[in-house]
Structure 1
């Protein structure tokens, strides 16, 4: 029997998972509480940018493999689906640092009460350790006596900009479950990946929950580590990129995520490491994850360093025109949550600069957060008459910049490469004052 699949929550994670499950051959229903979002998804229109996903959604809406509906009491999917993936958000708590589990709890309990056939609920949301076991108890308590409903946990490991690829060809699959039967169902869901010998890790609830936050914390640690050393090389001399290359040859360390710059952001790493700190503190392990607090501080200091460099180069910020290139937290995304580039742009504006912002995909979302900034439609528009250009997101369009490409546009040849992606020697040879994080500058 071919499994029917529902996906609860059609945000970034849910919409991607639903489309990819349809691509794998399953009949899929995506469920959301927002009728406007459902209508947009049914037309293949996304409220966010993710390469390849709109085409995949349109393909399977047209094929009939994928539908999007509102289902307030889960009666439709509860009578139809065999596997229900919960992919709702776990934002940071308002006024706190822990994860807000309101949506996960509501979706899981609602499903348990609405399901009318034997089925499996699978959590994909990133949650604090202990959540899955608590929810498993609620599922047992709330589900109907006549049906067998159980819960497993299957964390996601998506990279924005590569979400379709990461879902269809994952580098590992992690399942937290207490049931061999439930594991067998998930092996059927992921049969295609298993045929390619994708590593399969079957474990308990707690380990499955911790795998995701541990991965994010480790990535944040590597980024923060190299950024801490960039503070040293800025003070004493040296080249942080060469240093990263040299230690990256050590196979125990590796070169990935050792790129010094303005730091990390987005909707996952910052909130997840803060939620992890909060959770281990709740467990009485206050000192276990204190290094995460220092990582957060390093990350924020890099943003302030960009502002300081800019001020030192210009002597003062007030009244100066500054072009900020890139305000998404990373390329191939329109996500500006906790974005270093957007934070830098706002800080420059607050200090009195006239800030002109250009991002290939992020202008609209950035404008919702900081409407007081000037958003323009091209790199040339941003750079026109600029006293300083600041690169904060490494889009290919910016990585391919040359001095000749900006000559005649800017008012002054001054540049801060906050992602260390351009060849400094070429720019300095062309007469630019050119600064990068992790390099020593006399007087800067």
Structure 2
């Protein structure tokens, strides 16, 4: 099929390359000339394992190209909208201007029978409104909503081998045609037996935000338990292990620590609350406000813990922060707990050095006031304390004996409960983590 992908950031670029990998002819369209130039040269503008290889393969096949001209999408019959929906400045609601602009631009190239497919995460009610615009301007053109469920670090796998496909279809005679078109796009994925959920616009729009809200709630739940563990002397890691054996609960996302960040969970739960308020159903999601509050408190508590470890004062203390990205296997620093904590430590007088395997360049651009190092050893030279703030494999596998020769004081703050506590304490380190007793 001939496919266009409007918006070639993280979501759109991965989707475009993946659609070409599935055998379609794809043009990715984006207003950012430097981004399209990099993509056409097989240079990934972000860090994502496996993506650069996929991009190079798709370009070499001749089935993929990128452009800044929406007119290049004219021959496509399916048009994916993959632009961002950031949080509005000064409020919780999602900013839909990029989605609206993308759909508006597509009106110039749509033909009757074409299908516009939204993948962006939007407030419920958006798809129905956009569908009216599309069919009103181009009679016979259709709109479907097909939410994405990408995990950063696993985006290629999640696109080519998703755990489900969700189709939000119009409540009209076009529904069967739209579904058949999507099944054709995803033919190889459907043939592999991937579960499909075929539903209305509103349900499809809610799936991503409901899923993210559930995950955020689970993370904040265990972090709330960490607060209680600190008050009672219990151990949150053992508590998580114990309740995680219950298959109704499960162990995933029960790792207490600095909490969640990134470009999805924080803004999605806030937009969910905002939209519920607009619909008069705000009481249904008031619990998400506390989920958000618990998450932000973890950052404050980590700074307090660092002060405790540094004998009651951070003034002049050298602190190495291992990790800048909000999660491992990513260079995404949006709403990064690691950088937020690093900045707070510096404001309280600490001499902070930050390192990360992938996110240093992004961090330098947005947080130039911090000092950076290329390696953990460089960051930790003569450090009074080391904070592991992103659970990169490189940091989990550090040799505590060799690493101990670099620092001034063997004091480690495990911000993700990711280290082998026994190994570090055996090597002479003072080990502290949120929700766990001091050694």
TM range (shorter): over 0.9
Please point out which of 90, 99, 106 is paired with 1:95: 90
Contact 1:330 1:394 survives alignment (8 Å): yes
Q: How far apart are residue 117 of structure 1 and its match?
A: 5.1
Query: Do 1:177 and 1:204's aligned partners in 2 also have CA atoms closer than 8 Å?
Result: yes
Q: What is the correspondence of 1:198-209 to structure 2 with a 5 Å cutoff?
A: 198-209=194-205
State whether structure 2 residue 373 is matched by structure 1 residue 376.
yes
Matches within 5 A, 1:402-441: 402-441=399-438
1:281 alignment partner in structure 2: 277
What is the CA-CA distance between 1:285 and the residue it aligns to? Answer: 1.3
How far the C-alpha of 1:389 sits from its partner, in A, is 0.2
Q: The residue matched to 1:284 in structure 2 has which SS?
A: coil
DSSP-derived class of the 1:230 partner:
helix
Which deviates more, 432-441 or 194-203?
Answer: 432-441
Which residue matches 1:296? 292
Query: Hey, what does 2:268 align to over in structure 1?
Result: 272
Q: State the superposition RMSD in angstroms.
A: 1.1
Unaligned runs of 5+ in 1: none
Q: Which residue of 2 aligns with 1:153?
A: 145
Alignment TM-score, normalising by the size of structure 2: 0.97
Paired residue for 1:185, among 169, 178, 181?
A: 181
* 1:323–1:390 contact (8 Å) kept in structure 2: yes
Structure 1 residue 242 displacement after superposition: 1.0
Q: Which moved more, 1:134-143 or 1:154-163?
A: 134-143
Residue 366 of structure 1 deviates from its aligned partner by 1.0
Q: Secondary structure at the match of 2:282?
A: coil
Using the TM superposition, give the Cα deviation of residue 118 of structure 1 relative to its aligned residue in structure 2, in angstroms: 2.8
Can you list the C-alpha shifts for 1:135-184, whole angstroms capped at 9, x where unaligned? 001111222x5xx2110000000000100000000000000002111001
The C-alpha deviation readout for 1:365-400, integer Å capped at 9, x for no partner, is 111121111111111101100000000000000001
1:397-433 CA deviation, whole Å, 9 max, x = no partner?
0001232121220011111001001122222233221
* Secondary structure, counterpart of 1:279 in structure 2: helix
Identify the residue that residue 34 of structure 1 maps to in structure 2.
32
Query: Quick check: 1:235–1:440 contact (8 Å CA) kept in 2?
Result: no
The residue aligned with 2:18 is: 20
Task: Check whether the contact 2:209–2:272 (CA below 8 A) recurs between aligned residues.
Answer: yes
Q: Is the 8 A contact 2:27 2:72 kept in 1?
A: no
Moved segments of 4+, more than 4 Å: none
Query: Aligned partners of 2:45, 2:317: CA distance in 1, in Å?
Result: 35
- The equivalent of 2:46 in structure 1 is 48
Aligned pairs, how many?
A: 434
SS in 1 for 2:386: strand
Indicate the SS of the match to 2:27.
strand
Distance 1:235 1:440, change over 3 A: farther
Distance in 1 between the 2:282 and 2:57 partners?
49
Task: Give unmatched runs, 5+ long, in structure 2.
Answer: none
Structure 2 CA distance for aligned equivalents of residues 261 and 40 of structure 1: 36
**TM-score by structure 1 length?**
0.96
